[in-house]
Structure 1
Amino acid sequence: MKFGSITAAAMLAAITALPAGAETRVTYKSAKTASSYYQMGVQIAEAMQEATGGEISVTVEESQGSVQNVMEVRARGADYVFTTPPALVGLAQGGKAMFEGKGDPAFDEIRALFPIPSLTMHFVMSAESGVTSFADMAGKTILLGKGSFGASEGEKYLGLFGIADKVEIADVELSNAVPALKNGQIDGFVTAGSWPAPNVVEAAASSDVTVLSLSDEEIAQTKRTKLVIPAGTYAGQDADITTTSLPVAAYTTTKMDDETAYQLTKTYWESQERLGKSAAWWKGVDAGLMENITGKIHPGAQRYYEEAGIALSDAQK
């Protein structure tokens, strides 16, 4: 994931508001500017600024993807914070998949700080389609989008559940999913993002939709993390939605000093109430997400978790 650059004017305003020489500067890199994860980065930067009285100054930087975020560890310094799924850190450290032949000792120095909202799969169907399960998708037109995690993951699920050859894939951009659903051009669309997802909120508010739930057996087939979206999250949603997610976390490296890592982590968790007022997706963040961080946690962050009484696994220490 990645976070884009704040406008020059906004950056200048933020910097000039800080007391001279008082701030610790951090670069936070996560997502494209149009993504919810970029917006999260801006919200985290604002929360850090407010909670620390300007002692921590976070500049949000745009990225082209989680892989890029990890790769840049090789050239970045002690001020670098980035977001990525924990699984990608493991692949980088093992020199596997997209990191094959690109291994670097710097990858072994990656350390986690805190979890952020997970990438959550949504299978959104029009109520008129009558689809309430994956089997019901047969004969329907589905929009997957292109080049995104949601598109590739959605395509994988159609194959896993035996309906890939039974659906028609719409040649429509994901940005047009809601109007295409309303005018009957498609029967449903697949999207991934933090919940509540803005395009799902829009779809549910403008027409009757069904967001599919996955059974425990189906979730096991996907090999992803189970996630429950509470009833009432979307208009007309009377029951919990059980779906899958890809955990995401904020990372730095051992180059960052312990005190900065401690302050970043402490401020993040103590700002959750404030963050939750700015965007609903923060309401899905709690200590339970810590178990999704499969690698080591920065010693400075560990200090906060010990103080907060949040247990860490041996693998995280």
Structure 2
Amino acid sequence: MLRHLGTAAALALAASLATGAHAQERITYKSAKAGSSYYQMGVEIAEAIKAGTGGDVSVTVEESQGSVQNVMEVRARGADYVFTTPPALVALAQEGKAMFEGKGNPAFAEIRALFPIPSLTMHFVVSGDAGVETFADLEGKTILLGSGSFGATEGQKYLEMFGLDGKVEIANAELSNAVAALKNGQIDAFVTAGSYPAPNVIEAAASTDVKVLSLSDDQVAETKRTKTVIPAGTYAGQDSDVVTTSLPVVAFATAEMSDDTAYLLTKTFWDEQATLADASPWWAAVTPEMMETVTTQIHPGALRYYEEIGAPINPSQK
């Protein structure tokens, strides 16, 4: 066939065929705000996927304004789209409820889970000088919740739930100022939600005497969130386990992604997990058992991998 073409055209076609034979698969990973821990996780996943596939899969990390935006973009994205969000938010989108009311779209029904990433873990961080051992001891104290985040909303909910509404002073400051405010005595406590170990809690514990409050089993049950244990020694001065709650976060794709690609991404993620944990401790808490928290269907390609390793999968996830 090539002899019937001009030299330039033949060379171009040959190059095209060679490139096609070794085509690099490209994936877009929609993450979080640049500078956030979850954006950093996205970068780490991208590097792990590239390394684990020998460069056959290239992941481009895109900044996002949040989980709702990530879900909404499913409507206009294709087979190469991977994004992170709590499974509960996917369920709301598929049911057209809450922030998705009146914004339903058939594409939401095609969302499929791949693998879990570190959960949004609640931290109630109190000054060692505040004399606070339990939530009841927060009465009369000044607490920084921040604003506009999951941690701020959840923190306010817990204060109300545990009988502290109107009994604490809420500091009018941004969460970025929490560590400095705690150190200089402007506040007695701050609330933050993120993967553990959380960078701002590490900073606080390293620079002043702090305590991360534990919830009782009854309090955990009341929140209706996932019980999470932050192991002793996670933070400086933390001599015992901390019982708290978390909101699972998962990497999703859609049914448009091929089974082979979903399998490759999922298997490579788990193959590289130990390396990820060596680089960033928050990955150490991620296990295949966390797929139990997924309330949506798992991608058939990812499901093949979980069945191979014997991970717990329930019928509703298939």
TM-score normalised by the shorter chain: which range applies?
over 0.9
Where does residue 110 of structure 1 map in the other structure? 111
1:19-38 aligned at under 5 Å gives the runs 21-38=22-39
What is the distance in 2 between the residues matched to 1:255 and 1:59? 18
1:299-314 equivalences in 2 (<5 Å): 299-314=300-315
Within-5 A mapping of 1:211-222: 211-222=212-223
Structure 1 residue 172 displacement after superposition? 1.5
- Do residues 185 (structure 1) and 186 (structure 2) align? yes
Partner Cα distance (2:134, 2:21) in 1: 58
The letter of the residue matching 2:49 is M
Counterpart of 1:252 in 2: which secondary structure? strand
In 2: Cα distance, 1:311 partner to 1:249 partner: 16
**Partners of 2:125 and 2:212 within 8 A in 1:** yes
- Quickly say closer, same or farther: Cα 1:20–1:128, change in 2 above 3 A: farther
Contact preservation (8 Å) 2:289, 2:312 = no
- Matching residue's letter, 2:126: M
The answer (yes or no) to whether the contact 2:232–2:242 under 8 Å persists in 1 is yes
Secondary structure at 1:128's aligned position in 2?
coil
Distance 2:144 2:42 in 1: 28
CA shift at 1:22, angstroms? 3.0
Alpha carbons of 1:19 and 1:203: their partners in 2 closer, same or farther (altered >3 Å)?
A: farther
Partner residue, 1:277: 278
Q: How many Å separate the matches in 1 of 2:176 and 2:33?
A: 15
For residues 100 and 250 of structure 1, what CA distance do their matches in structure 2 show? 23
In structure 1, how many angstroms separate the alpha carbons of the residues matched to 2:258 and 2:287?
Answer: 25
In the TM superposition, residue 177 of structure 1 has moved relative to its aligned partner by: 0.6
Deviations 1:11-31 (A, max 9, x none): xxxxxxx99943110000020
Aligned counterpart, 2:163:
162
User: 2:135 maps to what in 1?
Assistant: 134
Asked whether the equivalents of residues 171 and 187 of structure 2 are also in contact (C-alpha less than 8 Å), the reply is: yes
**Which residue of structure 1 lines up, in the alignment, with residue 54 of structure 2?**
53
For structure 1, which segment, 242-251 or 286-295, has the greater mean C-alpha deviation from structure 2 after superposition?
A: 286-295
Give the Cα separation in 1 of the matches to 2:126 and 2:185. 11
1:251 aligns with 2:252: yes
Q: Secondary structure at the match of 2:284?
A: helix
Work out whether residues 226 and 243 of structure 1, in 8 Å CA contact, stay in contact via their aligned partners in 2. Answer: yes
TM-score normalised to structure 1 length: 0.93
Q: Identity over the aligned pairs, expressed in percent?
A: 71
The answer to whether the Cα contact below 8 Å between 1:19 and 1:54 also exists between their aligned partners in 2 is: no
3-state SS in 2 of match to 1:116: strand
Q: Given residue 29 of structure 1, which amino acid in structure 2 is its aligned partner? A: K
Check conservation: 2:87, 2:249, Cα contact below 8 A. Answer: yes
- Residue pair 1:22, 1:54 contacting (<8 A) in 2 also: no
| Aligned twin of 1:234 | 235
Asked if 2 retains the 8 angstrom alpha-carbon contact of 1:26 and 1:59, the reply is: yes
Relative to structure 1, the CA distance from residue 222 to residue 129 in structure 2 (aligned partners, 3 Å threshold; closer, same or farther) is same
Q: Distance in 1 between matches of 2:226 and 2:184?
A: 34
Check the 8 A contact 2:118/2:282 in 1, yes or no: yes
On the 8 A contact 2:83/2:252 being kept in 1, the answer is yes
Q: Aligned partner of 1:295: which letter?
A: T
Mapped contact 2:292–2:312 kept (Cα < 8 A): no
Task: Check the 8 A contact 1:66/1:85 in 2, yes or no.
Answer: yes
Find the counterpart in structure 2 of residue 15 from structure 1: none
Q: CA deviation at 1:139?
A: 0.7
The alpha carbon displacement at 1:296 in A equals 0.3
Tell me if structure 1 keeps the 8 A contact 2:289–2:311. Answer: no
**CA–CA distance in structure 2, aligned partners of residues 28 and 203 of structure 1:** 31
In the TM superposition, what are the counterparts of 1:171-182 in structure 2 within 5 Å?
171-182=172-183
In structure 1, the partner of 2:211 is 210
Find the counterpart in structure 1 of residue 14 from structure 2.
Answer: none
Structure 1: unaligned runs, 5 residues or longer? 1-17
SS at 1:88 equivalent: helix
